[in-house]
Each structure stands twice: as C-alpha cells, then as structure tokens.
Structure 1
Amino acid sequence: MSGFADIYGYDTIKEHLQNAVVMDKVSHAYVFSGNLGAGKKMLAKIFAKTLQCEEGGKEPCNHCHSCVQAESNNQPDIIWVRHEKPGSIGVDDIRDQLVADIQIKPYSSRYKIYIIDEAEKLTVQAQNALLKTIEEPPAYGIVILLSKNADIFLQTILSRCVVLDLKPLSDSLVENYIKDHISCGDYERKFAAKFARGCIGRAISILESDEFSQLKNQVVSMVKNAKDMTSVEIMDSVKKAGEFKLVIDDYLDLLNVWFRDVLIFKSTADTNLIIFSDEISSIRNQAELVSYEGLQDILDSIDKVKVRLQANVNFDLTMELLIMAIKENL
C-alpha cells in the first residue's frame, strides 16, 4: 500500500495536491508532465486514491474499501483511459471512454477520475473532443493527463489545466531510493542513478532489465574495439545496433556518457567523476589517444544521429557513419 510519503522528491507538487484535497480546491483537469520513469503514473494513482479515500485525509488511509480497490486498480470511479492504436489516442477512444462515460454519475465515490497515460499521443481531434468536457465538466469529474511533453497540447487545453512539471531529481535522491528499495552493488547503484537522469523509474528499469544490460555490453564492446574495426566488423556492429532499434536513444545516450567520461578524464584525471567506473583502463587509454577536437567531433556526431533518426533517415547508413566517425577519431 502506498501514499504520498512513499514518493521521493517533488515536495512542492505533493504539497500542492495534498492541500487541494484538504482545502477542497481540487481542479477538474491536471497535466502531470515529466520524462519517462519520472513517476507520473505513481503520483496520479496516489492522488486519485487519496481523493476517493473514505477517510478524507491528505494521505490515503490504505485500509478503506476504496483504497483497497484503488491499490489493485479495481476502483470503479478511477478510470484509466485505454487506446487501441499504439501510436495515437484517437477521438473515438476519448468519446467512448471519457466524454460519454463522464455523464454517468460516480458508482460509489465522490469523484469520477479519468487518467490518460501517454497523453502526448492524443490526436488534435481527440484533444478537441476532450476540450468541451474540460470546459464544462460535471462537479464530480476530474481528468488527469500524463505526458512526457506538455507542449504538444493545444493551448486551449493547457489554459484549462493545472500543469505540474516533474523535473529531474538529483542523482543523490535517486541513489537513495535505489539503496532503500533494490539490492545491488555500489557500481550498479551509482551507474543507474547517474544514467537515469533524475528519473527513479528509469533507474529501476536499468537495474532490472536484461535488455539494458545487453545493450550496455554491446555499446562498451563497440567503443573499445572501434579503433581497429574492419569494414565487415563495422557492418556487424551496425547490425547489432539494429537489434536495439526500439531503444536506440538509450544506445546513443550510453555512447554519449562513455565519451563524456573520456573527455572528463582527459581534462581532470579524476576517476571519481567517471560514470563507467568499471572501465577506467579503457577510458584512460582513449583519453591519451584522442584529441579534444576528436572527442568533440564524436559527441557532435552522436547528437546529429539523434536528429537524423528522428527525421527517419536510413538507420543502417546513419549508424555506419557514426561508427566510422568514432573509428577515425580514435
């Protein structure tokens, strides 16, 4: 059973939501904005559970009938809006699951709460369908939009919502969470905390995902061998990178972190600042070999790849050019 006290960080946001509950000043529409793994779903779930709690406090009691239902995702008046298509949330999804349904009074609670995850996928038509409900909601209706990027919403939507931005947490706070909740070694904890970029959920997935571990091993193998790669080996590395196409941002972020480690070590020789701390020998060797200009060229090349892939440029060709740029500068 969980409550606001179980959420690490975001003290101002938690205080705002709890005050809204206690003072009976709850908005009819919210946007929780934050990166993947920032904790938007957990915050929405706890806020909704608190609103429906039969004891009416600023924390869910976790033992009333409503709280027990909410914890198991079976509270009939907390509705998670689903969507059929993976790439978008269409107008029919919103009309059927929210616009029409919100006209029916709550089944057993004070409020009827609709939570839309990945709300950045709402089409313009779906947003327009949602707008009228947000403009003239029934007294019991609350809509919570969870999004990686609030900027994609129509201004007419944003102007009617309370927007709460879940900014990245400090590395130390993420590390403390890992220490309190996950059993792992010091290196794994520190690496996950630094690479997670302030998102506890991302840190958890780094530690618990076999795919991320395989991805990391592939990236490390490539950068350690890039200097002496033949054309055939480069194409093999491109093929292996293609196996991680769905998480290519993580692949590129790992590359970025590696070469920033090399740059930092070249500048400071301080091993305490290195994220890939179990690869100090290779980091040191590359720092001695590569010029500052070469390292900057590699980092610029990684940034360009992100832009090109977002523009749907040929994947294999883009990755081949990146690995060749790394090889040439090493």
Structure 2
Amino acid sequence: MKGFAGIVGHKDVVSHIQNAVRTGKISHAYIIGGEKGSGKRLIATLFAMTLQCGEHGTEPCGKCASCRKALGGNHPDIIYVTHEKPNSVGIDEIREQLVEDVQIRPYESRYKIYIVEEAGKMTPQAQNALLKTIEEPPEYAVIMLLADNPEILLPTIRSRCVTLNLKPVTEEEMKDYLMQQLHVPDYQADIMASFAQGNIGRAKRIAESSEFMEMVENAVYLLKNSQRMEVGDMIDAVREMAGDKQKIYDYFDIFTIWFHDVLMFKATKEVDGLVMKGEINAIRERASTSSYEGLQKILEAIQTAAGRFRANVNPDLTLELLFLTIREC
C-alpha cells in the first residue's frame, strides 16, 4: 500500500491533510471537491485510514488491525453513505445512515467517519437534515462530503466545512504516472496525458482500454482525409466508429488535440511541443493549407458540436456543420 505517496498530484491537499493530522487540528466537516475521476474517494479513504490508524502517524501504516479492516471495506467506524436513486441522495438516507447513526459512539476507534460520495446530489431537504449535525457534531465525528461541484451545495453547508479542491494534474505528472505506473509507451503517454485533461481516473481508464489507441488512429485517419472526403461519408464513419454517444465526446477531444497540434506547429514550426509527434507530416500539410483564423474556427466548432450533443440537438446536423467547417477552413 503506497498511502499518500501513491497519489498523483494534489500535493497541496495532501499537505493540508497531513498537517491537520500532525497538529491534531481536525475539522468535523470537509468538502472534497473535484470532477469525477479526480481521486476524491481515494483521498477521503486515505484520510480516514490515517485518522483511525493504530500507528498514529501522518500516513496509514496499512498493517495495523484498523488499516486492514479499512482496506477490506469492513471498518465499523468508517461509513460510506450510499443512495439508491442514481440522481439524488434523499433525506431518509442521510438521516438513517448519518444523522441518527452518529449519535452512537465509535465502536473501536477515536473517530467515527462518514464519507458521503456524490454529495452534490443531496436534496435540499437532505442537506438541511445534515446541517444540524455539522453545526453541533459529537466530538468524535468527522464528515467528508465528496462533490464534483461543491458550489451546488447549500451555502449554509459550505460555510461550515473545510473545502479541499482537487485541481487538474499537470501533463508532466500525468505522463510520468502513465509511463512509470501503467507502463504506457512514451509516444502513447503524450496522447493519453493530453486527452485525460488532468483527470487521473480518465487517464487510467484509457490506459487500460484496448480501444483507445484504435480510436485515435481512426480519428486521425478521418482528419487526414477530411478535405478529400464527402461530408456524408465522414458522418457515417464517425457514427460507425463511435458506436455510442459517450465515445462521440472522446472523438471530439481527439479532434481538439489534433487541431491544437496543427495550430502550434503553424505558429512555431517546432515538433517537440506537439502531442501527436508521429503525425508530423500530416500536421505540417494541414498547417500549410489552413489559416490561423480557420484553425481557430475549427477548434470553436468542435466545442460547439460537443455542446449541441449535450443539449440533444440533431446529431447528424451537428456533425454536418462540424465537418463542413473542418473541410472548408
């Protein structure tokens, strides 16, 4: 078990947690904010394990009885609050699993810790039910609210919690993680690190996917031939390659990386700063035929297309407008 040392990035958050443990200044309520896949659950779990660890250090030892129970998912004083409805955490769930349960003292540890995943989905009623506990908690209670967007939580909740926001991991840290931990080859790590956009969960997902590099190859083939293909053929190709709506967004992200490389090369004529260095010949060719203004229009068109897909605008029309821009600019 690597403990906090195994976390990629987020050094400021880890430092805050370890200083709080070292000085004994533990808040009764935390909000850990960051997009899905940023590592909120891992950090909350390591924080909880550290607080309960029998060695009383600033890292969980991973070996004591408390750590072993936590690693096995059966620590009686580390409670993960669950919810049945996918899009909401209701008042009954918060009351039964937290508000009423917190009145019972810890079974065997110094603290009783509650980790509320997807806390942004708590209904206003659920948040108000939780508020009194956060305002007047038992001395042994520690509540951790994990939220993709902490701003969704009621101001009365936010004002009573210590907020720890997870920032995107740098591309350099991401690339090191992909190469050292997941053994991704150098040329693929560049593309994956850029695609992941600072999200360690996303990086892990694509590194472990057998489809991702095939998706990159398909997207690059399409873009290399975009000025020669008919728009209808391009739409058919993307629909066939993507298969489902979620993958469409992945293709949009790959398109963005490609055209950003084209723009960078047009401006600098340097290869070192490119993500897709292996496609330098095609990048050079596109940079020579597209203007700065045209490339900027294409990048904006990709973002517009992604927004239209999220808003359920006609998908064929959305792709047609995008590919017309890619062809003409």
TM-score (norm 2): 0.91
Which residue is 1:170 aligned to? 170
Q: Give the Cα–Cα distance (whole angstroms) in 2 for the partners of residues 173 and 266 of structure 1.
A: 27
| Partner AA of 1:49 in structure 2 | M
Change (3 A) 1:247 1:44: farther
Q: Give the Cα–Cα distance (whole angstroms) in 2 for the partners of residues 292 and 180 of structure 1.
A: 37
Corresponding residue SS for 1:226: coil
Does residue 271 (structure 1) correspond to residue 271 (structure 2)? The answer is yes
Q: Give the Cα–Cα distance (whole angstroms) in 2 for the partners of residues 244 and 328 of structure 1.
A: 27
| Partner AA of 1:255 in structure 2 | F
Moved more, 23-32 or 127-136: 127-136
Which residue is 1:324 aligned to? 324
Which residue is 2:65 aligned to? 65
Change (3 A) 1:27 1:254: same
| Partner AA of 1:236 in structure 2 | D
**Are the aligned partners of 1:119 and 1:146 in contact in 2 as well (CA < 8 Å)?**
yes
Q: Give the Cα–Cα distance (whole angstroms) in 2 for the partners of residues 178 and 192 of structure 1.
A: 8
Which residue is 2:190 aligned to? 190
Corresponding residue SS for 1:227: coil
Structure 1 stretches lacking a partner, 5+ long: none
**Are the aligned partners of 1:89 and 1:122 in contact in 2 as well (CA < 8 Å)?**
yes
Shift in Å at residue 263 of structure 1?
0.7
Shift in Å at residue 35 of structure 1?
2.9
Shift in Å at residue 289 of structure 1?
1.5
Which residue is 2:38 aligned to? 38
Deviations 1:58-98 (A, max 9, x none): 11121111101112222121122222222333333323322
Q: Give the Cα–Cα distance (whole angstroms) in 1 for the partners of residues 23 and 231 of structure 2.
A: 67
Percentage of identical aligned residues:
49
Does residue 20 (structure 1) correspond to residue 24 (structure 2)? The answer is no
**Are the aligned partners of 2:179 and 2:185 in contact in 1 as well (CA < 8 Å)?**
no
Moved more, 306-315 or 202-211: 306-315
**Structure 1 segment 253-272 matched on structure 2, within 5 A:** 253-272=253-272
**Are the aligned partners of 1:226 and 1:326 in contact in 2 as well (CA < 8 Å)?**
yes
Which residue is 1:303 aligned to? 303
**Are the aligned partners of 2:235 and 2:319 in contact in 1 as well (CA < 8 Å)?**
no
Shift in Å at residue 259 of structure 1?
0.7
**Structure 1 segment 88-103 matched on structure 2, within 5 A:** 88-103=88-103
Shift in Å at residue 238 of structure 1?
4.7
Deviations 1:236-265 (A, max 9, x none): 135236524124433322211111111111
Which residue is 1:161 aligned to? 161
Corresponding residue SS for 1:80: strand
Which residue is 2:202 aligned to? 202
**Structure 1 segment 76-95 matched on structure 2, within 5 A:** 76-95=76-95
**Are the aligned partners of 2:10 and 2:166 in contact in 1 as well (CA < 8 Å)?**
yes
**Are the aligned partners of 1:50 and 1:59 in contact in 2 as well (CA < 8 Å)?**
yes
Change (3 A) 1:6 1:231: closer
**Structure 1 segment 63-142 matched on structure 2, within 5 A:** 63-142=63-142
**Are the aligned partners of 1:242 and 1:316 in contact in 2 as well (CA < 8 Å)?**
no
Moved more, 44-53 or 96-105: 96-105
Which residue is 1:294 aligned to? 294
**Are the aligned partners of 1:2 and 1:46 in contact in 2 as well (CA < 8 Å)?**
no
Which residue is 1:226 aligned to? 226
Shift in Å at residue 177 of structure 1?
2.4
Which residue is 2:215 aligned to? 215
**Are the aligned partners of 2:29 and 2:162 in contact in 1 as well (CA < 8 Å)?**
yes
**Are the aligned partners of 2:33 and 2:163 in contact in 1 as well (CA < 8 Å)?**
yes
Change (3 A) 1:156 1:297: same
Change (3 A) 1:43 1:238: same
TM-score (norm 1): 0.91
Q: Give the Cα–Cα distance (whole angstroms) in 2 for the partners of residues 225 and 89 of structure 1.
A: 48
